[in-house]
Amino acid sequence: MAEKEHISDFRLIEQIQKGNVHALEILFERYYEPLCNFAFLFLKNSGQTEELVSDVFIRVWENRNQHTKITYVKAYLYRSVKNAVISHLRKNRPDMDELSSLENISKHEITPESLLIRKDLNKAVGIMIKSMPHQAGLVFRMHKMDGLSYKEIASTLGLSIKTIENHMGKALRFVRELHANNPDYF
């Protein structure tokens, strides 16, 4: 497992271009879940999300012999998923608000710097969530990071919507107190 973490994305793409299916599996394991979370924010359907993200990896494999040099693999994958979501929404739900909000993500928003900043922010948020009471942290993550509605969270956890609202209130109070006591944290 540790060996997989030491292989750079760029090296994995080089290996995929040479026909190494194991490199594709490592890349898939590394990015499948985060890409699904990203696509789910717009599709709101886990089946469609999983199929769309899987198709992106299939295209990476099928197009491995192209002479295109992919320098920023993570950005390339997110851009591919974004484009696939836009295409899917145009085809299946042309009147959806998600399409216009997704199209407003400029090409310049996904840069190596923004990816590093996002990674650092996600790490800080992860640490913050672990510091919260368990249920409040779980609800906060599901709502703010996974994009689920209170109703969806309530259904998933078998709790009432009011209980979810209470847990979210606790989580937000925790964030406000953390920010008040540590203004440099954010």
| Tens digits of residue pLDDT in 32-86 | 998 898 888 788 888 899 999 999 999 999 988 875 777 778 878 888 888 898 8
Average pLDDT of span 23-28: 94
The answer to whether residue 102 scores a pLDDT higher than 70 is no
Percentage, residues of the chain above pLDDT 70: 79
CATH code of 147's domain:
1.10.10.10
Average pLDDT over residues 117-122: 69
Return the pLDDT at 99: 46
**What's the CA gap between 33 and 45, in Å, rounded?**
14
pTM for the full predicted model: 0.52
Q: Which of 2-11, 92-101, 148-157 has the lowest mean pLDDT?
A: 92-101
- Tell me: do 117 and 91 sit in the same domain: no
Indicate whether 7 and 96 sit together in one domain. yes
What is the greatest pairwise CA distance in the chain? 55
Whether 39 and 53 share a structural domain? yes
Mean predicted lDDT score pLDDT of the chain: 80
**Where a domain ends, among 108, 124, 148?**
108
Please identify, among 108, 129, 148, the residue that sits at the C-terminal boundary of a domain: 108
Question: What is the pLDDT, as a whole number, of residue 166?
Answer: 96
Check which CATH number belongs to the domain holding 30 and give it.
Answer: 1.10.1740.10
- Do residues 25 and 43 both lie within one domain? yes
The answer to whether residues 119 and 104 belong to one domain is: no
Domain count, the chain: 2
Say what the pLDDT of residue 22 is. Answer: 95
Claim to verify: residue 82 and residue 127 sit in the same structural domain: no
How many C-beta neighbours within 10 Å does residue 170 have?
Answer: 17
Over the chain, what HEC string results?
A: CHHHHHCCHHHHHHHHHCCCHHHHHHHHHHHHHHHHHHHHHHHCCHHHHHHHHHHHHHHHHHCCCCCCCCCCHHHHHHHHHHHHHHHHHHHHCCCCHHHHHHHCCCHHHCCHHHHHHHHHHHHHHHHHHHHCCHHHHHHHHHHHHCCCCHHHHHHHHCCCHHHHHHHHHHHHHHHHHHHHHCHHHC
Q: Are residues 79 and 91 in the same domain?
A: yes
Which two three-digit tokens encode residue 173?
A: 């109070």
In this structure, the answer to whether residues 91 and 129 fall within a common structural domain is no
Q: What is the mean pLDDT of residues 82-105?
A: 67
| Structural domain that includes position 97 | 1-108
31 vs 67: which has the higher pLDDT: 31
